[in-house]
Amino acid sequence: MDTNNATKYMNPYLAGFLLGLIMLAAYYFTGEGLGASGAFKRYEIAVLEKIAPAYVESNHFFGAHIAAKENILENRLVYMVLGVFFGGFISGAVSGRLTFKVEHSPKITKKTRVIAAIVGGILFGYGSQMGRGCTSGSGLSGMASLSLAGFIALFAIFGSGYLFAYFFRKLWI
Instruction: Choose among 72, 28, 26, 31: nearest CA to 49.
Output: 72
* 34, 140 Cβ separation under 8 angstroms: yes
Residue 113 near residue 104 (C-beta atoms within 8 A): yes
> Nearest 5°: phi and psi at 37?
-65, -30
CB of residue 71 to another protein, shortest distance in Å? 10
| Distance of closest approach, residue 63 Cβ to another protein, in angstroms | 7
* Biggest CA-to-CA distance, the chain: 55
137 within 8 A of 33, measured Cβ to Cβ: yes
- How far apart are alpha carbons 70 and 135 in whole angstroms? 26
| Closer by beta carbon to another protein, 50 or else 101 | 101
Instruction: Compute the residue count for the chain.
Output: 173
Give me the least distance between CB of 53 and another protein, in Å please.
14
Q: Report, in Å, the least distance between residue 50 CB and another protein.
A: 14
